[in-house]
Structure 1
């Protein structure tokens, strides 16, 4: 997907922050935003950036937010980090495969770390800005028809509850903010590589543009809702 692109809902000279910017989708978000003539700058955060943000080290989340406080407010914050598998961790096919250490690690990256991102980075978001966190359709309890993937499914379901709950609070105090839970679909990346099969995964650059366009078209009335990349509203 080529051609010009701009985020029209954020105003001129908006500032963006991408957490998890070193991954396939995070990098693609940064590329599109850097090419947007309305964007005044894109800050990328991750384990190897300065300041560093590591979801498995909670103190780094608070410290990164403190160091960036003077750079804000940001009109757009995208959280694109997550954990599905790594050495010693893979999606469980049965409840018999549930392991406490693996589940704790998945929850730390997919739920507990993002909870602290909400705590420390929502204060850095412009009062009419947008914050989007990448969830997953498999985290939908209502849409769960296949079972399996216990840690990943439940960690994303918990993330959705955090987003929904924070959005209710923001509606009272900062009602113009958009806080969104987004399903990116299957994307060609290290996260999905072992599980793509013949499902027609999309390049990260295409998925990132679709998600940015979706964010751009949503309104404060959509805050706290769960959407797929194509605009479909997903059940909790």
Structure 2
């Protein structure tokens, strides 16, 4: 991933499997003067909770002190927890759980964009990327189920399209995308590994490097799209 002197990269969700791999890879490559890693489990200036907009604003203000961020990656997601898993049928729907899934998977990344896009440069190539999922594709949905996760990721994809249109007016070289990393060996996917085809379960380091290659190849014409780990467009 090539960078420009006097720039920074931002990873939201740096304590997670893929987020931590992004942070490690970008730090090792040394293409950015500063790599900021934010997470709910971190303290001080590195603390950020997607459910707490004040913490998102504080993190963005910290980054705004410079150097300017030209890459922001939101590497967060919620599929199961608190005794809930992805819903297999309508009878499994729970309003509180649905609200939390939407809060983490769609509202949180949107609030990150609200506070971080304005501190990114107004000219030159910039990338804002949020991890989505192929199962959030409406056009590619042939199995149903997983209602909250699918719907929240579909909402994220729509928000990304909206953000791309608005950010283009501020910086005509900005790229805003959602990315499908494939099935990655993290706590999010671990209960479902039995359904993964042989050779299609990626370790976080490989997933991060694959997505960084995709990011490296992004063009302005890709803004507003969802791309998978091979750089192919995923239909909305």
TM-score normalised over the length of structure 2? 0.93
Match of 2:116 among 121, 124, 127: 121
Cross-structure match for 2:210: 210
TM-score normalised over the length of structure 1? 0.93
**Shift in Å, 1:198:** 4.7
Is 1:156 paired with 2:171?
no
Is 1:192 paired with 2:189?
yes
Runs of 4 or more above 4 Å deviation: none
Cross-structure match for 1:100: 95
Larger deviation, residues 11-20 vs 81-90: 11-20
Counterpart contact for 1:139–1:153, Cα < 8 Å: yes
SS in 2 for 1:196: helix
SS in 1 for 2:221: helix
Is 1:19 paired with 2:12?
yes
* Residues in 1 aligned to 2:33 and 2:67: alpha-carbon distance in whole angstroms: 12
Counterpart contact for 2:63–2:69, Cα < 8 Å: no
SS in 1 for 2:161: helix
SS in 1 for 2:213: helix
Aligned length: 229
* Residues in 1 aligned to 2:30 and 2:11: alpha-carbon distance in whole angstroms: 17
Structure 2 residues not aligned, in runs of 5+: none
**Shift in Å, 1:95:** 1.1
* Residues in 1 aligned to 2:29 and 2:7: alpha-carbon distance in whole angstroms: 10
Larger deviation, residues 59-68 vs 112-121: 59-68
Larger deviation, residues 149-158 vs 50-59: 50-59
Q: After superposition, give the CA deviation of every residue in 1:3-60 in whole Å (9 maximum; x if it has no partner).
A: xxxx13x334531110000000001001110111322221100113322110122222
Match of 2:173 among 173, 176, 189: 176
* Residues in 1 aligned to 2:54 and 2:85: alpha-carbon distance in whole angstroms: 27
Cross-structure match for 1:59: 54
